[in-house]
């Protein structure tokens, strides 16, 4: 690596970083105009989610929980930042490095955007504009680090007014082709004069003419290999250009402002507000079939025990969406097609006009480890899936409903389960309010008894009636079972694992679930002793979890507490430990506590 640039490495790295930020800010702004799902960093992250090997994904879910998305996006940004800093450093010597680097990053962004399931051609625009502006900013900023020293070593009057230090914008406009950033991004023959106008030609600018003219004259029609002629041009210019820190830093500050404004404005334009407003404006109809009253004894109200109803803000969230789909109910339709007699298409207004059913249903994620947090209970309001499907007329040999969300996630649900009379819903509300956007607004599926990945499609927009031997849903080729009935589980909420408590009378409590069958018994044992029956809270039906509690006279020392449930069909949870993949974890939950 030559080090003939007067711009120090740190300044190169800083310029690279800020140019990268400008690229992202501009991309965010354009994405806000073009559409909310097309921001390239998110597309790259989404693609990474899809390409990640299963064990890594499992690890990420375990290690980061609901923060896995933030961690992934953060990771993409850190890699981008490092690349941008490197490109900035390299570009001090060879501007082509910067352009080539931005071009490669742009190509990755465009590929990621275009391979998203919901991709449209317009979606590449934010990436292209962002990368082009970023490459242009890189060149401008490096140029700034030199320009003043150049102009101070040469008579100011030699420069046309457009090149005065404060007149950057007009200079950019005046320099015409040099400002054509899309050309900058492609290191081809036409790039040479552009590069010439960059760092290397700073010396040429000492010559009594505008830089762009000088460069145009220096290497007319030169090809990319014209590189070798450059030192001659520099010598011809005379006078070593210096590094002007102040000028570079003011340019950098300008770049930071552009990036920040781009991000903020882009987000605002991105439609989040519009969908939030639409959500607040939804008037929920009264249920035609209200939920069974929740018995007063459903909630034992024990400190630390999960409440019977999980508040929306505490409800676990699991999905593949890095940015939550923003679906305007005014644009939403649900299409039902495939193995049906009459394809059906419903609007949100159509759906709300159907007789709605209200039901308490506990959702569970197949990724939930024994004792894990990915389970929650809510009151849902929605149209019965069976009613809607009957309108379409299901063919007798269809056995799968392949549902698709607005962001392209797919889910395969057995037809017989949905049609057997249980409260399988196209849900529009959760705990008395329109679905939170994170939980599938405007419409999601809820099917009691099936893990979420095979039943609970959020932002659902399409149902293809098909067969398991013809179609596959998102998680199936990724190592998860095509069918996912929920396995009976029980969890100890209090005392907490690893906790300490005082000796004496205390309460052990938790929840157990066996959706659509129901929990009939919960037993607890301490230190491998006798199983004792816990008392069970009441439940409105078999589709929710069930609280349980048992008294315990805690004695000093370390103790291990275990729990197991038996469902209403008399099946007791197996003690055999199984990992979540491919079809749900098994084993008894246990906690260890110290009593003093
Ligand atoms: N569109 C979409 N819907 C989805 C998913 C998804 O990744 N995308 N994940 C499913 C899984 S695995 C689960 S467990 C539930 C979780 O629903 P929640 O986030 O509302 O708790 O949503 C299901 N619906
Ligand atoms: Mo899940």
* Mean pLDDT value of segment 218-225: 31
Question: Is the CB of 532 within 6 Å of ligand 1?
Answer: no
SS3 410: strand
Q: Are strands 532-533 and 333-338 parallel, antiparallel or unpaired?
A: unpaired
Angle, helix 68-91 to helix 40-51, in steps of 10 degrees: 120
Confidence of residue 37 (pLDDT cuts 50, 70, 90): low
Nearest to 549 by CA among 592, 588, 512: 512
pLDDT, position 177? 31
* Nearest residue to 129 (alpha-carbon basis) of 181, 77, 171, 176: 181
Check residue 382 and give its pLDDT. 98
Compute the distance from residue 8 Cα to the ligand 1 centre, in Å: 49
Domain formed by 296-478, architecture: Alpha-Beta Complex (3.90)
Which mutation among 453, 486, 580, 585 tests ligand 1's pocket best, with the greatest number of atoms within 8 A of CB? 453
| Domain definitions of the chain by residue range | 9-149+244-270, 164-235, 296-478, 489-595
Whether residue 480 has its Cβ less than 6 Å from ligand 1: no
Calculate mean pLDDT across residues 344-352.
98
Fold designation for 489-595: Immunoglobulin-like (2.60.40)
Q: Where are the beta strands (DSSP E) in 96-195?
A: none
Residues forming a β-bridge with 512:
490, 546
CB atoms within 10 A of CB 496: 12
Structure tokens at 103: 């071009």
Q: State the distance from the centre of ligand 1 to the C-alpha of 462, rounded, in angstroms.
A: 15
Mean pLDDT of 287-306: 97
Omega of the bond leading into 286 within 30 degrees of 0 (cis): no
Distances (CA, A) of 134 to 26, 93, 184: 8, 18, 10
Helices (H) and strands (E) in the chain, counts: 17, 19
Name residue, tokens 């205390």: 506
Question: Which pLDDT band holds residue 420 (cuts at 50, 70, 90)?
Answer: very high
Kindly report the backbone phi and psi dihedral angles of residue 500, in degrees, each rounded to the nearest multiple of 5, phi listed first: -125, 145
Handedness of CA 464, 465, 469, 475 (dihedral sign): positive
Total-model pTM = 0.70
**Does residue 377 contact residue 394 with C-beta atoms inside 8 Å?**
no
Rg of the chain (C-alpha set): 31
Minimum mean pLDDT range among 118-122, 166-170, 340-344: 166-170
Distance from Cα 438 to the centre of ligand 1, integer Å = 9
Ligand 2 centre from 179 Cα, in Å?
A: 49
Low-confidence winner among 157-166, 254-263, 365-374 (lowest mean pLDDT): 157-166
Q: At what angle do helices 68-91 and 54-64 cross, to 10 degrees?
A: 110
**Tokens read off for 466:** 């098909």
C-alpha to C-alpha distance for 414 and 419, rounded to whole angstroms: 9
Dig out the tokens for 226 from the structure. 């014209």
- pLDDT, one tens digit per residue, over 264-285 is 788 767 777 788 889 999 999 9
Instruction: Using alpha carbons only, give the angle 443, 545, 411 rounded to the nearest 5 degrees.
Output: 35
Pick from 143, 19, 25: nearest CA to 88: 19
Within 8 A by CB and 6+ apart from 133, the residues are 22, 23, 26, 181
With a cut of 60, say whether residue 240 has pLDDT above it. no
């Amino acid at each position: 690596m030559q080090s003939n640039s007067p711009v120090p490495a740190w300044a190169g790295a800083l310029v690279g970083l800020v140019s990268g930020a400008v690229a992202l800010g501009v991309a965010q702004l354009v994405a806000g105009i073009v559409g909310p799902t097309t921001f390239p960093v998110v597309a790259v992250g989404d693609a990474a989610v899809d390409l990640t090997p299963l064990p890594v994904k499992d690890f990420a879910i375990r290690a980061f929980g609901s923060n896995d998305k933030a961690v992934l996006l953060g990771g993409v940004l850190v890699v981008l930042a490092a690349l941008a800093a490197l490109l900035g450093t390299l570009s001090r010597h060879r501007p082509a490095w910067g352009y080539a680097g931005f071009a490669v990053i742009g190509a990755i962004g465009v590929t990621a955007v275009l391979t998203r399931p919901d991709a449209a051609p317009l979606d590449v625009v934010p990436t292209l504009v962002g990368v082009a502006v970023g490459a242009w900013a890189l060149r401008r900023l490096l140029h700034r680090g030199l320009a003043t020293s150049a102009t101070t070593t040469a008579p100011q009057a030699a420069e046309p007014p457009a090149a005065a230090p404060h007149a950057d914008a007009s200079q950019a406009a005046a320099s015409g082709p040099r400002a054509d950033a899309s050309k900058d991004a492609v290191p081809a023959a036409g790039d040479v004069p552009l590069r010439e106008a960059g760092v290397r030609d700073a010396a040429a600018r000492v010559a009594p003419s505008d830089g762009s003219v000088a460069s145009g004259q220096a290497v007319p029609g030169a090809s990319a290999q014209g590189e070798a002629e450059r030192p001659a041009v520099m010598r011809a210019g005379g006078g070593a250009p210096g590094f002007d820190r102040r000028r570079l830093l003011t340019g950098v500050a300008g770049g930071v402002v552009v990036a920040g404004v781009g991000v903020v404005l882009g987000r605002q334009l991105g439609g989040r507000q519009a969908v939030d407003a639409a959500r607040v404006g939804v008037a929920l109809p009264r249920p035609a079939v209200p939920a069974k009253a929740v018995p007063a004894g459903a909630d034992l109200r024990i400190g630390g025990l999960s409440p019977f109803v999980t508040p929306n803000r505490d409800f676990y969230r699991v999905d593949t969406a890095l940015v939550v789909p923003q679906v305007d109910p005014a644009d939403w339709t649900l299409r039902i097609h495939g193995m049906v007699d009459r394809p059906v298409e419903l609007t949100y207004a159509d759906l709300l006009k159907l007789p709605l059913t209200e039901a308490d249903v506990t959702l569970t994620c197949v990724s939930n480890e024994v004792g894990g947090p990915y389970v929650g209970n809510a009151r849902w309001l929605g149209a019965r899936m069976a009613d809607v499907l009957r309108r379409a007329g299901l063919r007798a040999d269809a056995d799968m409903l392949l549902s698709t969300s607005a962001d392209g996630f797919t889910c395969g649900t057995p037809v017989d389960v949905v049609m057997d009379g249980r409260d399988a819903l196209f849900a529009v509300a959760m705990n008395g309010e329109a679905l939170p956007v994170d939980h599938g607004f405007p419409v999601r599926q809820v099917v009691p008894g099936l893990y979420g990945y095979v039943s609970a499609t959020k932002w659902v927009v399409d149902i293809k009636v098909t067969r398991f031997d013809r179609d596959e849903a998102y998680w199936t080729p990724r190592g998860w079972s095509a069918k996912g009935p929920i396995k009976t589980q029980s969890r100890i909420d209090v005392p907490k694992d690893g906790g300490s408590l005082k000796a004496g009378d205390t309460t052990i409590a938790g929840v157990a679930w066996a959706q659509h069958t129901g929990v009939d018994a919960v037993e607890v044992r301490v230190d491998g002793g006798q199983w004792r029956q816990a008392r069970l809270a009441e439940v409105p039906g078999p589709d929710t979890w069930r609280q349980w509690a048992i008294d315990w006279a805690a004695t000093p020392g370390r103790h291990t507490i275990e729990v197991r449930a038996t469902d209403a069909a008399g099946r007791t949870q197996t003690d055999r430990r199984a990992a979540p993949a491919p079809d749900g974890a098994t084993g008894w939950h246990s906690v260890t506590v110290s009593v003093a």
